[in-house]
Amino acid sequence: MSRPEVVVHGTGELLAAAAAARLITRIVDAQAAHGVASVVLTGGRTGIGVLEQVNRSPARDAVDWANVDVYWGDERFLPDGDPDRNETQARHALLDHVPVDPERVHAMAPSDGKFGPDADAAAAHYAEVLATTASRATDIAVPHFDVLLLGVGEEGHTASLFPDTPYVREAQRTVVGVHDCPKPPPTRISLTLPAIRAASEVWLMTTGEAKAEPVAAALGGAKPVDIPAAGARGRDRTLWLLDPTAASAIPTGG
């Protein structure tokens, strides 16, 4: 697993613009290398802001959007089209504006979909979706992910893995139904840490003073069970993209 690298941008707006440029380049490079790029999206203010910036970028059209596989790292288990769903927000921010192939957009099921209110069944189905195109490069049944985007919550959650829960401890399954979340909505679906760690690159993106403590704890070696973001690492690269307030409690190296 890679060691975390930290990049601090001057403002949240700059972070979103710079991360968008980085994401476009990552997708274009992956397509040059193997035809299809595979991206795992996140919800949250920063993650959605990055997608908005991708949409606004003149370089957006350098991407062959029909050959991008889109997945989600987590989902708020709500009805289809609910404005709080990560999928809905990502579609409004970017996916509705670019010619993605609907067959390559792999959303997690809504709470009024074919699994009804059974988040565990919806999670098991998503695990099957991931397993059908699993990469042989890892021993875990998920596709090759070129880049997996994550946010960080005030208590250190990432994707929908919250501290001191069975879900952050999950070692076998790739996707779990998450219940009794401290942040609304209470029911979610999430990739697990083993699935996240199968990605080539993991980018954790966050802004604001409320994130300073969990960011410092994660980078200071906290246990993933206490600060789930600490356990999110990419095989080739782990990148923390921060604004100065989110970075403000990181101890300066001596």
Interaction site with ligand LXAUTJHC (CB under 6 A): 42-47, 74, 76, 86, 150-151, 153, 160, 183, 206
CB of 236 within 8 A of CB of 1? Answer: no
Pick between residue 36 and residue 196 the one whose CB is nearest to ligand LXAUTJHC. Answer: 196
Q: Shortest approach of ligand LXAUTJHC to residue 206 CB, angstroms?
A: 6
Do 214 and 153 form a contact (C-beta atoms < 8 A)? yes
Least Å distance, CB 181 to ligand LXAUTJHC, is: 8
Residue 41 vs 63, nearer CB to ligand LXAUTJHC: 41
CB-neighbour burial class of residue 6 (10 A; exposed 0-12, middle 13-18, buried 19+)? middle
Question: Whose Cβ is closer to ligand LXAUTJHC: residue 37's or residue 196's?
Answer: 196
Q: For the CB of residue 189, give the shortest distance to ligand LXAUTJHC in the complex, in Å.
A: 10
Nearer to ligand LXAUTJHC, 36 or 211 (CB): 211
Q: What is the DSSP string of 36-101?
A: -EEEEE--SHHHHHHHHHHHH-GGGGGS-GGGEEEEESEEE---TT-TTSHHHHHHHHTGGGS---
